[in-house]
């Protein structure tokens, strides 16, 4: 590893909190089936771990969106790279994200998905950086951790496509 990574949240902390959030979701959706929408690529690790812990029927779909293109700065224009395979009409939808900061992409995505007729849409994230929120109307229903404005990797989050496979959340230090 060329970069120095400081552990922000240990593997045990992450696993414990995912279990707690899954228990809350299971209580909130008791008697229902939940349709998880995993936002790729970063959300896949968290979505799989969350789904394994849910105590209710689960269906799963994947979506990939981009507002970055080939740049490191958001263009502000959201583009759907991979759309859903299944219709959403009548489903209780839970969007699962790895991290939410500005909220621009999710604000757009939620409006697009609402037009597809789901019964409900809620949002779940592993990490939240509310101090970076530009779109204040983005409501996060389930948050595992609120973190400071630092560049994090691990558990699906990457730095130039590296470090996604770390079992903990770390901060890349210069």
Residues ≥6 apart with Cβ < 8 Å to 116: 87, 88, 89
Alpha-carbon span 41 to 165, nearest angstrom: 12
Across the beta sheet with 4-9, the strand order is 4-9, 169-173, 152-153
Please state, in angstroms and rounded to a whole number, the distance separating the CA atoms of residues 18 and 126. 8
Question: Is residue 3 a contact partner of residue 151, using CB atoms and an 8 Å limit?
Answer: no
Q: What is the spatial distance between Cα 40 and Cα 80, in angstroms, rounded to a whole number?
A: 11
Catalytic residue among 28, 85, 92, 101: 101
SS3 percent helix, strand, coil of the chain, rounded to 5, is 25, 35, 40
For this structure, is 101 an active site residue? yes
- So which residues are the catalytic ones? 101
């Amino acid at each position: 590893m060329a970069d120095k990574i400081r552990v922000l949240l240990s593997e045990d902390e992450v696993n414990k909190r995912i279990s707690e959030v899954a228990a809350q979701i299971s209580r909130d959706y008791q008697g229902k089936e939940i349709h998880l929408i995993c936002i790729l690529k970063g959300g896949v690790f968290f979505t799989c771990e969350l789904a394994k812990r849910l105590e209710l029927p689960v269906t799963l779909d994947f979506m990939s969106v981009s507002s970055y293109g080939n740049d490191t700065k958001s263009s502000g224009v959201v583009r759907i790279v991979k759309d859903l395979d299944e219709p959403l009409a009548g489903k209780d939808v839970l969007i699962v994200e790895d991290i939410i900061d500005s909220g621009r992409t999710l604000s757009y995505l939620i409006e697009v998905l609402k037009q597809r007729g789901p019964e409900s849409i809620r949002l779940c994230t592993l990490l939240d950086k509310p101090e970076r929120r530009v779109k204040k109307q983005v409501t996060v229903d389930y948050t595992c951790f609120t973190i400071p404005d630092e560049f994090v990797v691990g558990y699906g989050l990457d730095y130039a496509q590296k470090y996604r496979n770390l079992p903990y959340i770390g901060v890349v230090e210069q």
